[in-house]
Amino acid sequence: MKYALLADIHSNIEALDACLEKVEQFNPDQYIFLGDLVGYGADPVAVLNRIRSISNRVVIKGNHDAAVAIAANPNMREDVRQAIDWTRMQLQQSDLDLLNQLPLTFREGHCLFVHANAISPEKWSYVLTEAEAMHNMNAVQESVIFCGHVHEPKLYSMGSNGRAQLFIPTSGVSIPLIQSRKWFSIVGSVGQPRDKSTLASCAVYDSDKNQLTYFRVIYDYLSAADKIRKAGLPTFFADRLERGE
């Protein structure tokens, strides 16, 4: 089974289309959207429609999706909350229902797909350290966990010594996820990259060959940023796209 992995799109249709074009080259059997389809960006409707147009899809709920569908988390920053409220205004009830009904996790074979973390997906806590990745890998049966939430592509692996080790992947180079180890993959963000690069992130995983390939994709971030400003959303989100942080 070949999975296309797309996380943290954040209403950025330019980035989503560029990433879809990239992963389509590999003829994926299934598209996995790892949450946070909306929030920050100016094109929530276009993004949801594009995802709906893909038949072989699995969509996981992210914290921004939950906030738009139900209510903004009181802990959210003011500008983030502003973007959530704006997004809710753009969407139809059917869109909100779709977001509300998304599952928190998806399991298939030796893989677990989740937005934030494998231990308590509904709490949205971040996996930022090797120790946190280790706890996640120990908490589940599956040998490979895919998630988003942290907007930087990363790969943690854990061998027989039980310690997790971080690796920053190189775009386009396939990594064999050998079965004697456990793996925790953060696929990076399609629409809000934050590792000082303006390039969108996505990945393809071939579960038969155990090969994971991360990609960085050039897209028209200037147009995406321009739309954010024109929509009256906080300009910080546009600046971020232009700086990649």
Partner 1 sequence: MPKPISTGTVCDGFLVGEGLLRGGMATIYEVTKPGYDLPMIMKVPHWGHGDDAASIVGFEVEKMILPKLTGIHVPRFIASGEHDTCPYIVMEYVKGMSLRHYFNVAPLTIDQVQRIGIKVATALHDLHQQRVVHMDLKPSNIIFRESGEACLIDFGFSQHQDLPDLLKEEIHEPLGTAPYISPEQIFFHRGDPRSDIFALGAILYALITGTRPFGFPTSVAGLKRRLYEDPKPPRLLRAETPKWLQEIVLRCLEVEPTNRYGSAAQLAFDLSNPEQVYISSRGKKVYPDPWWAVLRRRFVSFTYEPEKTETAQLQLSRAPIMMVAIDIEGSSEDLLLSLKESIQRLSKEKDYRIAIVSVLKISRLGLDASSDEKGKSYHLKKLSEIKGWSKNLQVNEANVTYHVLEASDPATAIVDYIRHNNVDHVIIGARGSSMMRRFLGSVSSRVVSEAPCTVTVVRTPRQEIQSST
Pairing of strands 105-108, 211-217: unpaired
Residue 170 interacts with partner 1 (CB under 8 A): yes or no: yes
Considering beta carbons, is residue 37 or 134 the nearer one to partner 1?
Answer: 134
Instruction: Name which of 49 and 179 has its Cβ closer to partner 1.
Output: 179
Restricting to residues 103-162, which ones interact with partner 1 according to CB under 8 A?
Answer: 155, 157, 159-161
Strands annotated E in the chain: 2-6, 30-33, 57-59, 105-108, 111-114, 144-147, 154-158, 164-167, 174-176, 182-186, 200-206, 211-217
Minimum CB separation from partner 1 for residue 20, in Å?
A: 25
Q: Are 16 and 63 in contact (CB under 8 A)?
A: no
Shortest Å, Cβ 181 to partner 1: 7
Q: Contact with partner 1 (CB under 8 A): which of 69, 175, 190, 200?
A: 175
Distance CA 62, CA 216 (A): 22
Interaction residues for partner 1, span 24-43 (CB under 8 A):
none
Q: For residues 57 and 41, give the distance between their C-alpha atoms in angstroms, rounded to a whole number.
A: 22
How far is Cα 142 from Cα 232, in angstroms, rounded to an integer? 43
Asked if residue 176 binds partner 1 (CB under 8 A), the reply is yes
Closer to partner 1 by Cβ: residue 94 or 170: 170
Task: Report the residue number, 12 or 157, with the smaller CB distance to partner 1.
Answer: 157
Q: List residues near partner 1 by CB under 8 A.
A: 155, 157, 159-161, 163, 165, 167, 169-170, 173, 175-176, 178-181
